[in-house]
Amino acid sequence: MFRFLIRRAIGALVILLIISAITFVLFYVAPRDPARVACGKVCTPETLALVKRNLGISDPLPVQYWHWLRAVFVGRDYTAFGHCPAPCLGYSFHNREPVLGTIIDRFPTTLSLSVGSAVIFVIFGVGTGMLAAVRQGKAVDKVASSASLIFSSMQIYIVGVVAMYYLADQWHILSRPKDVPFTEDPAGWFQGLLLPWFVLALIFTANYTRMARSQLVETLSEDYVRTARAKGLSRRTVFFRFAWRGAMGPIVTIFGLDLGLLLGGAIITEKTFGLHGIGALSIKAVLDNDLPLLLGVVLVAAAAIVVFNIIVDAVYALIDPRVRLA
């Protein structure tokens, strides 16, 4: 297991390196010049050259990328900003603030949104799927299957707007979404995220209900499950010791990917509810043509997905002994 994790960690570093290089190149394909944007309306050639030197973009593209990559590990000295300690992701072209500090400030909102909704949709989604599988063909199964098909077809930017209008503005059941630090006001933090949690969980729960039901129905028909029943084990023991464990592998895999994507920035969700997390920050970086900020956000999103892929593989091996043997 340890050697496996080491290999995956090395592969993750290579993937992040490739992603950062591709992002760097694609940024310079864009028609907008970040130095001219930062220079302002009255921009002479001398001022433009000074801005490029201060931003660190006066060198050729490979040299710029090397300086940026080196700064991640050893830091960098900037003409206009001074020394940036490692891990240095540079300074924003737009607001001249450290990229790493900006991401750290925005990350708690994304973390709260992702983890809170994940807890809800996993519990309710898997629970409903288990109930539907046990009651296969009954009314509960038909209602759960139909509801999951309906809700999984919905889009967050539609359900979110409708939910805010009725639940928050018209009926005043829930508060409108807002960014409240947990350390300052736990109750306000909970109320401000309850509506986004509800909408995200509504859509994701449908997917997990369908997946859990299909996996459990398939597992319950396996030979080893029928053998366990034939040996006289109780229905509860057969379900949780054999069938449930065998069906959890694919669900764990998809859950790790979903949580990694959410932590990397739920762009549409944050934009819909006006939350200022990593997703909203990525939109701002693109609109401002802000390469350092864009690179930082892309790396955080990619790192979240890669890390959770590694965690999922490790958990999968713990769940299924056949993976460990392989």
Query: Residue 104's pLDDT is what?
Result: 93
Query: Residue 305's pLDDT is what?
Result: 86
- Which residues 6+ apart lie within 8 Å of 81 measured at CB? 91, 96
Query: Residue 320's pLDDT is what?
Result: 66
Identify the CA nearest to 12 among candidates 288, 308, 321. 308
The β-bridge partners of 228 are none
Q: What does each of the 326 residues of the chain score in pLDDT, given as a tens digit?
A: 677 778 888 888 898 899 888 888 877 766 666 667 666 666 777 777 777 776 667 778 888 888 888 988 898 887 667 788 888 888 887 788 899 999 999 999 999 999 999 999 999 999 999 889 888 889 989 998 888 888 888 888 899 999 999 999 999 899 999 989 898 899 999 999 999 999 988 889 988 998 999 988 888 888 888 888 888 888 888 887 778 777 787 888 888 888 888 887 788 889 899 999 998 898 888 888 788 888 889 888 888 888 888 888 778 777 766 555 45
Query: Residue 186's pLDDT is what?
Result: 92
What's the sign of the alpha-carbon dihedral 101, 103, 104, 108? Answer: positive
Identify the CA nearest to 212 among candidates 148, 158, 153. 148
Taking the C-alpha atoms of residue 24 and residue 21, their distance in angstroms, rounded to an integer, is 5
Question: What does the block give as tokens for 82?
Answer: 């001074």
Query: Residue 101's pLDDT is what?
Result: 92
